[in-house]
Amino acid sequence: MNLILQLLKSSLKGKTRKRVRNAYYKLCYMLGFIRLFLKHGFKLREKVGFRKVKGAIKPYAFIRVCNEIPTIKASLESIAFLGRGVIVYNDCDDGSEEVILEFCKTHKGFKAYKYPYHVKRVHRESEVFPPEYKELFEYYNFALSKIPKDKWLLKIDVDQIYFQDITEESFKLIEHENDVVCYPRVNLHVLDGEVLVNKHIPISDVNDHWLIFNHGLSFKKYVEGGGVMEALALPHANLNFIKSPINSFHFPLLKKQRFTKKREDFMSLDEFKDQYKKDKSKLIVGGYVPLKDGREILDLEFLDTRLPEILKRLKF
């Protein structure tokens, strides 16, 4: 920019040179302000009010995968309506990679990225891994880097089968860019052809699945009770959390690395329904907070109307 000014000075004279010089300084001032806003704009908006969202929310799916063959095909098909997203995967040796690549071929808005490192699972602080292993938060940040900034993203886990209608309806809960929609989930399992509900954590409501604006987001290392995992580092404290009804069926224990046959850890669907009708708050881990609009956190009819069809699409 200084070179441009020098060239202008050498070629212009008098009032013309003065006017051009003043215009140049005004331009520099404006560019400086724009840079400042781009760098600190979210903090400024935190003080003066967050921007109201105009138009429909069209989030990117934010997906990470490691050996999820029992559910991955059904899960990806259930979120195809999103139209776009990133799928980052690592250490897949069960056919998940092939499913991902085939899905991306037929759904061009989804992009697949193979993470070039081994990843530490959730582990104890004292556990030692080879030096080539990356932390879980580093893996998540790699995936996050593929999502455009200042766009909405929806965290997707491929051991969950999603309901399009409830998911799309939840997008309408967003009014401002500091709104965050959180999604509870019901934890199911299948043993010997019977669908069961996790007895210890029937319903998870811990704000770890969300629709959120991708500005200043990152993941960090998080240690709790001696366990090492990842956690989302929020850009500021002034977030407005909104709860959605359950928008998926969650099958966390069908994958080979977590599969269990301990029947005593589960209850039948009928037991779950009875307990839910009596006192749903006892089934929800994370603290029961009713939805603002008075809706149920879970529509029990889905267990009869939607679950049978979903089971046909699982691979177990």
Q: What confidence score (pLDDT) does residue 36 get?
A: 45
pLDDT at 28 (0 to 100): 52
Can you give the pLDDT at residue 5?
A: 44
Query: What is the pLDDT, as a whole number, of residue 302?
Result: 97
Percent of the chain with pLDDT over 70: 84
The answer as to whether 19 is a domain residue is: no
Ordered mean pLDDT values, 10 residues apiece, the chain (316 residues): 48 56 54 48 52 94 98 99 99 98 99 98 92 96 97 98 98 96 97 96 94 96 91 88 96 95 97 96 87 89 97 92
265 is a domain residue: yes
What does the pLDDT read at residue 20?
52
How many domains does the chain divide into? 1
Residue 16 lies in a domain: no
Please, which contacts does 124-128 make with residues 24 or more away whose CB atoms are closer than 8 Å? Answer: 124/226, 124/227, 124/228, 125/223, 125/226, 125/227, 125/228, 126/226
The answer as to whether 251 is a domain residue is yes
> What range defines the domain where residue 149 resides?
60-313
Q: Tell whether 39 is covered by a domain.
A: no
The CATH number covering residue 148 comes to 3.90.550
β-pairing verdict for 160-162 and 227-233 = unpaired
The encoded tokens of residue 65 equal 């995968």
pLDDT value for 134: 97
On whether residue 282 sits in a domain, the answer given is: yes
131 part of a folded domain = yes
- Please indicate, yes or no, if residue 53 is contained in any of the structural domains: no
